[in-house]
């Protein structure tokens, strides 16, 4: 078989066989197929899609392109939680400690942020001293000792995805449902957890812009997980506006801590509670939704989740005083309140999450390329969200800046707010759960 025959085949919307998909992935990672041929294939997949069998073969082949983590030395049920990415998404910092406090083992490998979306590792690194590079022995030991570790993804996990994702990023083929499903699920399956809870974001700040695509992606990922013998649940959640109030690394750490103290923004607090409930149910640490909900509420009110976060920070060499005193986190030199200056009262109709994420990136909170250095202190805190009434003098948002691109960022934030003269209905953060 030759690569050109396979491109022709996919172009004519004829399914590729398992053998053909193996050939493509294996030869590509060996460097025997050039990027331009894989690019052509990716574009054919983008337009023609893939059958469920093709996606399964692709996922398995990618998974087997590198190391598969063995978590069998960790006693108890191991669960992984994954978000498809969004703006202000600090969920792992809350859900991981809560689930761990309730008996689930969290051995999590997270990623860095790129573009407008943030990454859990960057948020954790905003905590002075926090180490994300830990040997596999220490990782397993930590989870056995305290029930939770969040570390950087091993370099050897799914090398095929690293190559393919980089190519997709520059060929306009990221937002293809079969390619996203195989990319995410190959990494989740390689990370070794028994159960997986997926948070599939939908809306302006997410890869999936509409609910039907989010449902299709969720169903596909759940079925890929099940075929591989894992219990997988996907919760589709709203990303039509940023999640919570804070966007920016240290600011999001503060918001996560506040949420573990029970003082989080309503949308974020609800999301964290519901995802932890799903984890408890899928891991059978609770037998009903009501029981799981009571357990999560208790873990928050008694500070059990907060204590877990503090223990994890201390174990990973971070300054755990941040939990009680935010002045130990990096602070921006300047804060600027963005006021609503018009006489007419209005309501917030929408907040473009993508624009807010890009504004935070301009300030230095995110990176345009993986090599860019992040400023942990900077970002945006929204004070008004969709549905809120605004009158003259109200502060819409506060910008935390160290002077980089401040004016452009402010313009972008103001641009992201769309106002309405009429009252606006709010959306539920949890849209649908697919099991």
Catalytic residues: 82, 161, 168, 183, 187
| CB nearer ligand URA, residue 120 or residue 269 | 120
Cβ-closest residue to ligand URA? 183
Minimum separation from the CB atom of position 407 to ligand URA (A): 31
Please tell me the number of Cα atoms within 13 Å of 223 on its side-chain side.
14
**Contacts of ligand URA in 80-109 (CB under 6 A):** 84-85
Residues, the chain: 435
Minimum separation from the CB atom of position 185 to ligand URA (A): 9
Q: Which of 139, 116, 372, 345 is nearest to 248 (CA)?
A: 116
Compute the Cα dihedral for 277, 214, 370, 246 and give only its sign. negative
Question: Alpha-carbon distance 242 to 59, whole Å?
Answer: 30
Q: Residues 320-339 vs ligand URA: string with x where CB under 6 A? A: --------------------
* End-to-end CA, the chain: 39
46 membership: H or E segment, kind and range: helix 35-48
CB distance 18 to 51 below 8 Å: no
148 binds ligand URA (CB under 6 A): no
What's the token pair of residue 363?
């300030």
Q: Residues 171-210 vs ligand URA: string with x where CB under 6 A? A: ---x----xx--xx----------------------x---
275 binds ligand URA (CB under 6 A): no
Crossing angle between the packed helical segments 289-301 and 266-282, to the nearest 10 degrees? 120
Question: Alpha-carbon distance 360 to 382, whole Å?
Answer: 12
Minimum separation from the CB atom of position 167 to ligand URA (A): 11
| CB nearer ligand URA, residue 235 or residue 398 | 235
| CB nearer ligand URA, residue 184 or residue 322 | 184
CB distance 104 to 146 below 8 Å: no
Minimum separation from the CB atom of position 162 to ligand URA (A): 10
| CB nearer ligand URA, residue 63 or residue 180 | 180
Q: Which of 271, 206, 268, 204 is nearest to 240 (CA)?
A: 204
Q: Residues 43-82 vs ligand URA: string with x where CB under 6 A? A: ----------------------------------------
Minimum separation from the CB atom of position 181 to ligand URA (A): 8
| CB nearer ligand URA, residue 28 or residue 400 | 28
99 membership: H or E segment, kind and range: helix 92-101
Residue 284 is classified by DSSP as T
Minimum separation from the CB atom of position 159 to ligand URA (A): 14
217 binds ligand URA (CB under 6 A): no
Minimum separation from the CB atom of position 174 to ligand URA (A): 6
Question: Alpha-carbon distance 390 to 344, whole Å?
Answer: 9
Instruction: List residues bridging with 83 in a β-sheet.
Output: 199
CB distance 374 to 380 below 8 Å: no
What's the token pair of residue 9?
């085949």
Q: Using CB under 6 A, count the residues that bind ligand URA.
A: 8
Chain CA centroid to CA 81, Å: 9
Which chain residues interact with ligand URA by CB under 6 A? 84-85, 174, 179-180, 183-184, 207
């Amino acid at each position: 078989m030759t690569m050109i025959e396979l491109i022709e085949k996919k172009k004519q919307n004829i399914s590729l066989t398992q053998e053909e998909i193996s050939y493509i992935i294996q030869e590509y990672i060996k460097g025997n197929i050039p990027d331009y041929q894989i690019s052509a294939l990716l574009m054919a997949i983008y337009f023609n899609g893939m059958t469920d069998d093709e996606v399964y073969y692709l996922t398995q082949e990618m998974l087997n392109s590198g190391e598969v983590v063995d978590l069998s030395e960790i006693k108890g049920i191991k669960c992984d939680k994954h978000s498809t990415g969004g703006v202000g998404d600090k969920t792992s910092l809350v859900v991981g400690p809560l689930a761990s406090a309730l008996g689930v083992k969290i051995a999590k490998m997270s990623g860095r942020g790129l573009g407008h979306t943030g990454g859990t590792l960057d948020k954790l690194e905003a905590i002075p001293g926090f180490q994300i590079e830990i040997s596999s022995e220490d990782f397993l030991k930590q989870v056995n000792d305290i029930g939770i570790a969040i570390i950087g993804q091993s370099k050897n996990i799914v090398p095929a995805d690293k190559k393919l994702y980089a190519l997709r990023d520059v060929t306009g083929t990221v937002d293809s449902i079969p390619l996203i499903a195989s990319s995410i699920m190959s990494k989740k399956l390689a990370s070794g957890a028994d159960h997986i809870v997926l948070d599939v974001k939908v809306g302006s700040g997410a890869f999936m812009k509409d609910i039907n695509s989010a449902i299709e992606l969720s169903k596909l990922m759940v079925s890929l997980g099940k075929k591989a013998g894992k219990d997988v649940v996907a919760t589709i959640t709203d990303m039509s506006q940023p999640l919570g109030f804070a966007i920016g690394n240290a600011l999001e750490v503060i918001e996560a801590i506040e949420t573990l103290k029970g003082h989080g923004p309503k949308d974020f607090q609800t999301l964290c509670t519901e995802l932890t409930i799903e984890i408890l149910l899928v891991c059978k640490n609770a037998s009903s939704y009501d029981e799981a909900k009571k357990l999560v509420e208790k873990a928050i009110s008694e500070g059990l989740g907060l204590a877990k976060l503090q223990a994890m920070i201390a174990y990973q060499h971070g300054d755990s005083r941040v939990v009680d005193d935010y002045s130990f986190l990096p602070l921006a030199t300047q804060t600027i309140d963005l006021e609503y200056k018009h006489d007419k009262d209005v309501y917030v109709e929408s907040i473009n999450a993508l624009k807010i994420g890009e504004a935070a990136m301009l300030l230095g909170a995110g990176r345009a390329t993986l090599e860019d250095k992040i400023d942990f202190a900077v970002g945006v805190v929204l004070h008004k969200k969709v549905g809120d009434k605004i009158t003259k003098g109200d502060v819409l948002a506060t910008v935390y800046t160290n002077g980089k691109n401040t004016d452009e960022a402010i313009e972008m934030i103001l641009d992201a707010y769309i106002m309405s003269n009429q009252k606006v209905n709010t959306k539920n953060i949890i849209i649908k759960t697919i099991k």
